[in-house]
Amino acid sequence: MVIAIGNAKGGTGKSTLLLLLASYLSEKKEKIFLISMEEKGTLNLLFERSKILEHELPMEYFTCDLSHARLLISRLAEEKGAIILLEFPSLLYDENMVHLFAAPDLLICPFCYDTPTLNASIYFACFARRIKKGIPLLFLPNRVISNASYEFREETDQVLRQIAPVSPCIFEHIGFQRISSMNLDPRLLKRCAPLLELIYSQYLPLRGNISIHKP
Amino acid sequence: MTNTGQFIFFLAILYLIYYSFNLLFDLFLSSRTYPKAEETSLLINISELEAPIDASLQETTADYGALQENEGVMSSGPISSTGGMRLEEVMNGALQDAAIFSSRIPS
């Protein structure tokens, strides 16, 4: 199974969310492969730190460029029962991205409620749907400040639901800013566990009830 | 001079003769028999390789026309496109879709 996380705009919390998901799924005794396609991305930086600190990671981590991603995914998919987590690059203008959009069984698009990120997220989703019409998509509101009021949030969610389902949000927390390696603070994982459980049980194909909206 | 010394001396003479012969052969004989590399270098014109290939399948469409007359098969004209889209077209389409959805969000 392949789960991908992407957005046309950087800084939406893709890497953090992938790490959370990888750590959570590894607790479920799943074999996890984590692939980043950005050599100088956040995940690579965190991995380098973990390597220096000799952390025992609950997943196997790979970095590869876009041209080799398809081959790597097909090779790793041969492993029985493995879950492959992909971090899509923000730059979509690459023909290799077309093949990449065919891979995921679930594509998660984390977003924030600011206008530039919203526009980029909608564009990303539309681009994905243009390439693969029935791609299972999930919008995930990320970095939501708990005591702030977001104007037109309900209206925004309604528009997004016309494209794909919107999951409950992840609230901003100081713990996310303190992440310095791939070894996550268990308290952070515990804090996000309800949402990760929801994704695991409700949105992952072949795991539970598939309720992904296909317009 | 010892036996070893004599042996090395004769061996050196033998090598000298051998390599002199090779050198003279290359200088005077081989240059006549083989033309220079410049004259025979293989030239490949890239523009010829990149020239567009006619994909209209004229022969096939001619046969198809005959088939249409004989067996009553409907035709949509000669094939001139694969039906594929360029990445730019996909991106432009996605931009248009995104603009429609974004315009529904009040600001």
| Alpha carbons A63 and A17: distance in angstroms, whole number | 17
Name the pairing type of β-strands A60-63 and A82-87. unpaired
Rounded percentage of chain A residues whose pLDDT exceeds 90: 27
Question: Is 90 exceeded by the pLDDT of residue A90?
Answer: no
Which residues fall within 8 angstroms of residue A115, CB to CB, at 6 or more apart? B107
Mutate: best of B86, B91, B100, B101, partner A, most A CBs <10 A: B101
Summarize the confidence of residues A98-120 as an average pLDDT.
90
Summarize the confidence of residues B59-71 as an average pLDDT.
49
CB-based contact B94 A118, cutoff 8 Å:
no
Which parts of chain A are beta strand (E)? 2-5, 31-36, 60-63, 82-87, 106-111, 137-141
Q: What is the mean pLDDT of chain B?
A: 73
Residue-level pLDDT at B14:
96
Which candidate from B91, B94, B101 shows the least CB-CB separation from A159? B101
Question: Is 50 exceeded by the pLDDT of residue A208?
Answer: no
CA distance A124 to chain B (A): 8
CA distance B50 to chain A (A): 20
Closest listed residue to residue A137, CA positions, set A35, A32, A3, A13:
A3
A137 touches chain B (CB under 8 A): no
Which chain A residues are Cβ-neighbours of B106 within 8 angstroms? 152, 155
CB-based contact A123 B95, cutoff 8 Å:
yes
Partner B, chain A 45-74, Cβ-Cβ below 8 Å: none
Which residues fall within 8 angstroms of residue A11, CB to CB, at 6 or more apart? A117
pTM above 0.80, yes or no: no
Selected residue with higher pLDDT from A214 and A48: A48
Question: Is 80 exceeded by the pLDDT of residue B40?
Answer: no
Residues of B with CB under 8 A from a CB of A: 87, 90-91, 93-95, 97-98, 101-102, 104-107
Selected residue with higher pLDDT from B16 and A194: B16
Cβ atoms of residues A42 and A125 within 8 Å: no
Summarize the confidence of residues B33-53 as an average pLDDT.
59
Q: How does residue B74 score in pLDDT terms, banded at 50, 70 and 90?
A: low
CB-based contact A123 B94, cutoff 8 Å:
yes
Most confident of A61-70, A72-81, A121-130, A184-193: A121-130
Q: What is the mean pLDDT of chain A?
A: 86
